[in-house]
Amino acid sequence: GNSVTQMEGPVTLSEEAFLTINCTYTATGYPSLFWYVQYPGEGLQLLLKATKADDKGSNKGFEATYRKETTSFHLEKGSVQVSDSAVYFCALSATGNQFYFGTGTSLTVIP
Amino acid sequence: NAGVTQTPKFQVLKTGQSMTLQCAQDMNHEYMSWYRQDPGMGLRLIHYSVGAGITDQGEVPNGYNVSRSTTEDFPLRLLSAAPSQTSVYFCASSPGTGWSYEQYFGPGTRLTVT
């Protein structure tokens, strides 16, 4: 079946620290992979995506590379800001019309 | 474009009451879906639709009904509310049904069932 596993939080970092949020997946076929971000009281917003192996998605300083050999799609940012505080969701879309989400990782960045 | 809109933002129901959560999108998207978000469980798919007149069940459909009479609207009906349905509900839409398309989310409805 299809599933996503992401690192549990919460994660607390100081401003300008390096961020990694791990995400691994299980899927039938060749999925597309996504990172979504949810700010307090809001819906989810697409942060970045990759649709095939070795693709790198990037946006707002965040990056993630689709690694088929390790079934991973880890989210990274070189220098986090207070405004990056949010909940981050890894997700996949494979066969059929369904998305599968991880449980979310809460990030707090302190000045 | 307003994107995906949901009403109401907050709702409190008593056990056994029924209600409809509204969802609309103005992007002419084919695909629409409903999720519930519970602490520690991420988002779980309730129902989805690949076009007007076509709906299907997701992972957790029990206790919920949907219909899709127009491209724009996709209401979610709770037939007889239960405390286990206390959750935050998100509607989403997507321009296509292929798996490379991202989903666009509404702001959510926070439902409490007492």
> Which residue in the block uniquely carries the two structure tokens 């996504």?
A34
Mean pLDDT of B89-108: 88
In this prediction, residues A84-94 reach a mean pLDDT of: 94
Question: Would you place residue A96 in the very low, low, confident or very high pLDDT band (cuts 50, 70, 90)?
Answer: low
Task: Check: CB of residue A44 under 8 Å from CB of residue A89.
Answer: yes
In the β-sheet with A75-77, what is the strand arrangement from edge to edge?
A19-21, A75-77, A62-65, A56-59
For residues A85-105, give the mean pLDDT: 88
Confidence tier at A41 by pLDDT (50, 70, 90): confident
Please indicate whether, in this complex, the C-beta atoms of B43 and A44 are within 8 angstroms of each other: yes
Mean pLDDT of A41-54: 93
pLDDT per position as a tens digit, B3-39: 999 999 999 999 999 999 999 999 999 999 999 999 8
Distance from CA of B56 to the nearest CA of A (A): 10
Average pLDDT over chain B reads 94
Chain A CB contacts of B5 under 8 Å are none
The percentage of residues in chain A with a pLDDT greater than 70, rounded to a whole number, is 97
Q: Which of A36, A46, A103 sits opposite B40 (nearest CB)?
A: A103
Measure in Å the smallest separation between the Cα of A79 and chain B Cα atoms: 26
In A, minimum Cα distance to B10 occurs at A41
Residues in B closer than 8 angstroms to A99, CB to CB, are: 33, 43, 45, 103
The answer to whether the Cβ–Cβ distance between B33 and A99 falls below 8 Å is: yes
**Segment A15-31 mean pLDDT:** 94
Q: What is the pLDDT of residue B95?
A: 87
Percent of chain B at pLDDT exceeding 70: 100
pLDDT, residue B112, reads: 97
Contact residues on chain B for A49, CB-CB shorter than 8 A = 100, 102
Helix, strand, coil shares, percent, chain B, to 5: 5, 50, 45
Tens-place pLDDT, residues B56-65 = 999 899 999 9
Of B33, B42, B92, the CB nearest to A89: B42
State the number of CA atoms in the 13 A half-sphere of A6 facing the CB.
Answer: 31
Rounded to a whole number, what is the distance in Å from the CA of B101 to chain A's nearest CA? 8
Q: Tell me the percentage of chain B whose pLDDT exceeds 90.
A: 87
Distance from CA of A19 to the nearest CA of B (A): 21
Q: How far apart are CA A21 and CA A74, in angstroms?
A: 6
B40-B46-B48 Cα angle (round to 5): 135
Q: Mean pLDDT score of chain A, rounded to an integer?
A: 93
